[in-house]
Amino acid sequence: MKSNSLIELLSPAGSPEALDAAIGEGADSVYLGLRDFNARIRAKNFSYNQFEALVDRLHQLGKKVYVTMNTVFETYESKNVFNLLKYLQAVGPDAVIIQDMGLIELIENHFPKLKIHASTQMNVANTPAIHLLSRHNVKRVILSRELSLKQLQNIRSQTNSELEIFVHGALCISVSGLCLFSSYFGGKSANRGRCTQACRRLYGNFTGKSGYYFSPHDLQLIDYIPAIIHSGIDSLKIEGRMKSAQYIAHVVKAYRYLIDHFQSDGEDAQAKAKEILKNDFARNKTHFLFDNDSSKKIINSSQSGATGIYLGKIVEIKSEGMEAIARMKDIASLQLEEGDTIRIHSQDDLKRESLKIKKLTEVKNGVEFKIPNQFRPEDTVYLIQKKDNEQKYPHIIPKNLNGFKRHPGIIPPPRVQWDSKASKQRLFSGLYVKINDFKQFYILQADRPEKIIVHLNLETLADLLKIIKNTQFHPKDIIFYLEPDLYENEVGDLKKTLPTLLEKGYQTYICNNLGHINLLKNANDAILIGGPYLYTFNSYAVNFIFRQKINYLVSPLEISKRNLYQTVDTFSADRFFITVFAFPELFQIKAPISFEPQNNTYYDKLNDYEFYLQKKSQHISLMPSQPFSIIDKIPDLEKKGFKKFIIDLAFMEQKKGYYKKIMRYAREGRVIEETTRFNWKDGFYQDK
Model confidence at 357: pLDDT above 50: yes
Residue 679: pLDDT band with limits 50, 70, 90 = very high
Residue 333: pLDDT band with limits 50, 70, 90 = very low
Model confidence at 5: pLDDT above 60: no
Strand-strand pairing, 29-32 and 601-604: unpaired
Decide which of 297 and 584 is more confident. Answer: 584
* Domains of the chain with CATH codes: 4-171+217-281 (3.20.20.70), 309-385 (2.40.30.170), 420-583+627-668 (3.20.20.70)
Question: Considering all CA atoms of the chain, what is the largest pairwise distance in Å, rounded to the nearest integer?
Answer: 82
Task: Tell me how far CA of residue 639 lies from CA of 47, 559, 635, 662, in angstroms.
Answer: 44, 19, 6, 21
What's the confidence (pLDDT) of residue 2? 43
Q: What is the dihedral of CA 558, 140, 144, 96, to 10 degrees?
A: -40
pLDDT per residue over 530-551, tens digit each? 999 999 999 999 999 999 999 9
**DSSP-based three-state secondary structure for 105:** helix
Please list the residues that pair with 9 across neighbouring strands. Answer: 236
Model confidence at 40: pLDDT above 80: no
What's the confidence (pLDDT) of residue 17? 93
Q: What is the mean pLDDT of residues 104-133?
A: 97
Task: Tell me how far CA of residue 465 lies from CA of 168, 443, 478, 480, in angstroms.
Answer: 44, 17, 10, 12
Q: What is the distance of C-alpha 483 from the center of its chain?
A: 16
Nearest to 360 by CA among 352, 350, 369, 351: 369
In whole numbers, what is the pLDDT of the chain averaged over residues?
A: 90
Asked if 258 and 252 touch (Cβ cutoff 8 Å), the reply is: no
CA distance 240 to 39: 11
Asked if 529 and 509 touch (Cβ cutoff 8 Å), the reply is: yes
What's the confidence (pLDDT) of residue 423? 62
Model confidence at 583: pLDDT above 60: yes
pLDDT per residue over 7-19, tens digit each? 999 999 989 999 9
Residue 334: pLDDT band with limits 50, 70, 90 = low
Nearest to 265 by CA among 235, 273, 2, 231: 273
Model confidence at 1: pLDDT above 50: no
What's the confidence (pLDDT) of residue 517? 98
CA distance 675 to 454: 23
pLDDT per residue over 365-382, tens digit each? 788 899 888 899 988 888
Strand order in the sheet with 361-363: 352-356, 341-345, 380-385, 309-320, 323-329, 366-372, 361-363
> Which stretches does DSSP call E strand in 228-322?
235-238, 285-286, 309-320
Report pTM: 0.93
Q: What is the mean pLDDT of residues 160-187?
A: 93
What's the confidence (pLDDT) of residue 3? 42
pLDDT per residue over 386-406, tens digit each? 876 667 899 999 988 888 866
pLDDT per residue over 250-296, tens digit each? 999 999 999 999 999 989 999 999 999 987 888 889 999 999 766 67
CA distance 330 to 337: 14
